[in-house]
Amino acid sequence: MYRKEIEGFIDSHRQEMIDDICKLCRINSEKMPYTEGKPYGDGAFDALHAALAMMEDYGFSITNYDNYVGTADLNDKERQLDILAHLDVVPAGEGWTVTEPFEPVEKDGKLYGRGTADDKGPAVAALYAMRAIKELGIPVKKNVRLILGTDEECGSSDIEVYYKREKEAPMTFSPDASFPVINIEKGRIPGGFSASFEVSEALPKIVSIDAGIKVNVVPGKAKAVVAGLEAEVLTQAAAAVEEQTGLSFSFGETEDGIQITVEGKGAHASTPDEGNNALTGLLSYLVSLPLADCPQLQAVKSLVTLFPHGDTRGKAVGIAMEDELSGPLTLAFDMLTLDKDHLKGAFDCRACLCATEENSLNVIRARMAEEGLTLQADHMTAPHHVDGNSHFVKTLLKAYEEYTGLEGHCESTGGGTYVHHLENGVAFGASMPGTDNKMHGADEFAVIDELLTSAKIFAQVIVDLCC
């Protein structure tokens, strides 16, 4: 119903939609320090106000929730559907080749720039779906609300503020992933831990270790400094580890000894198999060296015991498990600093549906304690699951199949979205299966035809759920 009208509207507004996406993507909305009235700094504030002005210009009733979140309502009827997107972005980073991060350009059917795929492009696609319903005069009996947040990338504190004031709609989807439908999001075990040990001056020794940039990123690089060993010993040991792991080693002189740099392949912690962990490879290398025995070295050996290189399933810590719907539990050891008397580290564990605090968190805490390490976590974030046979999910899949000709199905993810804590929330779009938008990386892009198709699908969902 109304497919012809929806397709005609979206296609006829192609350039206008691209222009609106570019308008938002020119704003650097990385999280910045708080200033009065601007919870996440100037950039997020500017992006939110630009979006609110845009939505008001198109005739929607808007609300600004203290500059944390902005909303647009399709009408004043009973709320049926929320569409939950975000305007903040991850840092620009380096390595851009097609354009500068905040200078969006269209090239070869793609729109390049930070935020084009995550999540400003999909947010505007949802806005245009609502525009289609409104301007085509399609009669709807219930309300749709577009909710735009500004802190999704750094903890979603914005949405916590919003839901303290508002109830969730009976149905919610977030266009912040990929099609078809993600109805399962794994839980998380926060993995911060530490240990202290007696100082030893015996040589040869480890002076320091420094690895990791964020707890949810498998480290592609790790460094250590050792003292009291000849360069030839280090290079010979490195050759053996390189052959076993595929990692690469390099060495340089420092005032404290020889610095070892290990390079692997970074990845998101929810998909650790896609990376080659430089940190766990470095630790395996260090314990192969002829170092003097001391409490510090024993602590490093404990880390290797608990997090051996290549173990991305938590086998060594006793929490390997999986289920048919959500797949295997994953674990990535991502951050470590170590000096003469202390270490501090963190791992990222994505827990499948069958994981509980009793069979995962408590097990790993006890296992680490056996090795002299203290786990700081006292609770886990439970997995999220919406019934794939519900009317809501089936309606989303039906619209996806109608506009793409592809078979719809439900998927699980180790990643997390805005809907994780919503009773009836799923991720739905806006990229198509097989598209790698380089989210969070250099040269992020959105396929323009995919955004147009997403807008059509979203509009059809509104018709099917709210008319």
Catalytically active residues, by annotation: 88, 152
Both tokens of 263, joined, read 């390079």
Contacts of residue 453, defined as CB under 8 A and 6 or more positions apart, other chains included, come to 403, 404, 432
**Of 450, 467, 460, which Cα lies nearest the Cα of 124?**
450
* Backbone conformation region of residue 136, classed left if phi is above 0, alpha if psi is from -120 to 50, else beta: alpha
CB 264 within 8 A of CB 277: yes
> Which runs of E-coded beta strand occur in 217-341?
217-218, 221-227, 248-254, 257-263, 267-268, 322-323, 327-328, 330-338
Contacts of residue 227, defined as CB under 8 A and 6 or more positions apart, other chains included, come to 203, 204, 205, 207, 256, 257, 258
What are φ and ψ of residue 336, in 5° steps?
-160, 135
CB 270 within 8 A of CB 415: yes
- What is the distance between the alpha carbons of residues 465 and 302, in angstroms, rounded to a whole number? 54
